[in-house]
Structure 1
Amino acid sequence: MSKLTAKASDNERHKIVARHNSEWWTPTSEAMMARFKEIYSSPESHALIDHELERVRQLGWMDKTSSLGFDGPDVWHFYPLALQEKQAANYNFSNRHETIKTIIRACRANGISMDEQIAYILATVERETGNTFEPVIEAYWLSEKYRKENFSYYPYYGRGFVQITWKHNYEKYSKKLSIDLVSNPDLALENENSLFILIDGFKNGVFTGKKIAEYINSRSIDFFNARRCINGLDHAQEIADSARSYLTNLRNGIYD
């Protein structure tokens, strides 16, 4: 099977929603444990068998929780990223206002729930995209020839809502997104990819090792130093002021 075929097959399999027997229901005495006992039936394995069967027996819990509505051992299995893809299909990047609403919705769906954090992310996108709220390339007003001759990190210059830069970051997000950003860095300009990079980078401190929650949390709101999540203190005051404006808009329901 070619790598391309295998990749396509994986992409289809992870979208499957299936119902199957759960190990959390089935007792160790039933058929699914028969092969285990057959393989480890030698006398020297008896102690191990007894220990393991008891351990597995204690894992079962579903049959003891009828109040939760379980009607048998069959449960539904789904792949979480497939749901994320479905959610992404509902994102709207048709204009600036809709893109802002999409970023807000994606932030909240991925555990960034404080209005102050969301406001700061929006302010960052405003600055990084030149207020277009579209994924852009670094120094988009310059030629590709200029970038090639003058950017030491070429071709891994800034792209997207937050200007992902340097090869090691493209490698990281190739793994996270299961796409080849190293061979095709322009994939970082696709809306859904750029949105993922934006939120994941802020939430998990991918770019500089600093997470947004370190600067903006329930105890402290530091819009100025939150810039360290992205790029030192470059334009820190400008972005901090912008974040306060977005926070006012969020609280006034402008993006509801």
Structure 2
Amino acid sequence: MLATARWEATWGSDFFCALEERSGSLGKAYFNKYDPVLASNESLKKRAKNNGNTEEGDGYKYRGRGLVHLTWKNNYKKASDYFGIDFVDQPDKAAELDYAVPIMIWGMMKGIFTGGKLPRYIYKSHINYKAARAVINGSDSADNIAFFAKLFESILRKTSNLTEEF
């Protein structure tokens, strides 16, 4: 989880600061790929609609926020239902650490984002950080995230006096 948050929420040389998906020089147009009207092709438009983005502007409105960059109106709705906070009407709340951390833990453990659950890849006798990327974003940047996960694990093993529990 720490490695995923480090990767998703890092912007440039800063760490854990980009709690909102960045668009770079493209501005709002970057998020058209998530929009049911503004997307560049029918496949992307269909994908947007299948994920709950049904109105023009939803691509930008439901862009990635938080430590795992919660994306799509359907996922904002799931988080709203689970946490009792209206993330659909107030999507910026998903970028607040008070919500971003629980959303990350809940989503990764329960398979909310892609259907993949973290305990499938990491459990007492098995650790596969690279494959665990599937719980957030397929295999995108899996090698980098696995590298950071191993670093975090090493630091925690050297500095923590807590018992290891799964």
1:146 to 4, 21, 29: 29
Contact 1:215 1:222 in 2 (8 A): yes
Q: What is the CA-CA distance between 1:198 and the residue it aligns to?
A: 0.6
Residue aligned with 2:123, SS: coil
Aligned to 2:107: 201
Contact 2:23 2:31 in 1 (8 A): no
Aligned to 1:230: 136
Structure 1 runs not aligned, ≥5 long: 1-120
Q: What is the CA-CA distance between 1:239 and the residue it aligns to?
A: 0.5
Q: What is the CA-CA distance between 1:154 and the residue it aligns to?
A: 2.9
| Residue pairs, 1:8-87, within 5 angstroms | none
| Residue pairs, 1:156-235, within 5 angstroms | 156-235=62-141
Are the structure 2 counterparts of residues 255 and 186 from structure 1 closer, same or farther at C-alpha, using a change threshold of 3 Å? farther
Aligned to 1:126: 6
C-alpha distance in 2 between matches for 1:229 and 1:142: 29
Aligned length: 136
Q: Which runs of 4+ in 1 moved over 3 A?
A: 140-145, 147-151
C-alpha distance in 1 between matches for 2:19 and 2:27: 13
Contact 1:135 1:191 in 2 (8 A): no
Q: TM-score, normalised by structure 2?
A: 0.74
C-alpha distance in 2 between matches for 1:239 and 1:148: 24
| Residue pairs, 1:98-113, within 5 angstroms | none
Larger of the two Rg values belongs to structure: 1
Aligned to 1:251: 157
Deviation readout 1:189-246 (Å, 9 max, x if unpaired): 1111111101101111111111111001112111110000000000001111111111
C-alpha distance in 1 between matches for 2:28 and 2:107: 29
The amino acid that maps onto 2:147 is: D
Percent of paired sites with the same residue: 37
Are the structure 2 counterparts of residues 135 and 189 from structure 1 closer, same or farther at C-alpha, using a change threshold of 3 Å? farther
